[in-house]
């Protein structure tokens, strides 16, 4: 049974505690906290991703698009991966997360990383906290952009290096 959350009630002396009350207040709420709304995707694709877009775009609108239904509150969002770059002008890569279509951080996103060498790879990652998200279904899409050249994300294809980035979201309060 999918765990459900019910706002804890304030008990008063003399209140009758029924099995239904205990199941709702203790069992269901504890089960919900043990397994809060979570979604994740671990990349193991047939090819790496690359972009030359100088505006933020979805890295993968199908797979790096996570959906959870929250009870209202805070959500942790995390990503780790290996990036690289190429081109006559090597790129600086920027990443952000679009929540329900709106970029979380705006401006230049959550982080940027300057690609200094076309023969190097770079481990990048972030964990961010989205606070005060309303109750309901929410979609989280990982987005990126570059300022020049071509940016790449290893995706488990084995073409360059066979690593497996992970993108995840989890309601935490």
Partner 1 sequence: MQNITIARNNVNTEALDAALRDQLGNACVGISVGNGQVIVHLTDEATSAQITSAQQIVANHDPEVLTDEQQAEQDRQQRLAQLRPNNRDTIQPDNFAGQLNALAQKIEWLELELAELRGRG
> Taking contact as CB under 8 A, which single stretch among the options 1-9, 25-33, 134-142, 146-154 is the one that binds partner 1?
146-154
Please identify which residue in 83, 97, 124, 155 interacts with partner 1, judged by CB under 8 A.
Answer: 155
Element (H, E) at 75: strand 73-86
- Beta bridge partners of residue 138, listed in sequence order: 68
> Which structure tokens are listed for 32?
């919900």
Neighbours of 31 (CB within 10 A): 15
Helices (H), the chain: 19-22, 29-34
Name the phi and psi angles at 24, rounded to 5: -70, -50
Q: Which residue has the tokens 């690359």?
A: 50
**Does 22 help bind partner 1 (rule: CB under 8 A)?**
no
What minimum distance in Å lies between the beta carbon of 50 and partner 1? Answer: 4
Question: Segment 28-67, which members bind partner 1 (CB under 8 A)?
Answer: 45-55, 57-60, 62-63
Please identify which residue in 73, 78, 87, 156 interacts with partner 1, judged by CB under 8 A.
Answer: 87
- CB nearer to partner 1: pick between 103 and 133: 103
Question: Site size for partner 1, by CB under 8 A?
Answer: 32
**Does 102 help bind partner 1 (rule: CB under 8 A)?**
no
């Amino acid at each position: 049974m999918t765990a459900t959350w019910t706002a804890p009630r304030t008990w008063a002396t003399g209140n009758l505690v029924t099995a239904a009350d205990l199941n709702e207040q203790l069992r269901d709420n504890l089960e919900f906290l043990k397994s809060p709304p979570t979604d994740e995707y671990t990349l193991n694709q047939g090819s790496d991703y690359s972009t030359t877009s100088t505006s933020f775009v979805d890295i993968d609108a199908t797979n790096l698009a996570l959906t959870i239904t929250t009870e209202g509150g805070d959500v942790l969002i995390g990503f780790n991966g290996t990036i690289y770059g190429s081109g006559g002008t090597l790129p600086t890569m920027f990443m952000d997360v679009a929540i329900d279509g709106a970029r979380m951080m705006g401006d230049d996103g959550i982080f940027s990383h300057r690609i200094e060498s076309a023969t190097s790879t770079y481990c990048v990652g972030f964990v961010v906290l989205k606070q005060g998200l309303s109750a309901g279904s929410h979609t989280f899409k990982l987005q990126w952009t570059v300022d020049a050249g071509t940016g790449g994300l290893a995706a488990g294809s084995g073409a360059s290096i066979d690593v497996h980035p992970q993108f995840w979201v989890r309601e935490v309060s």
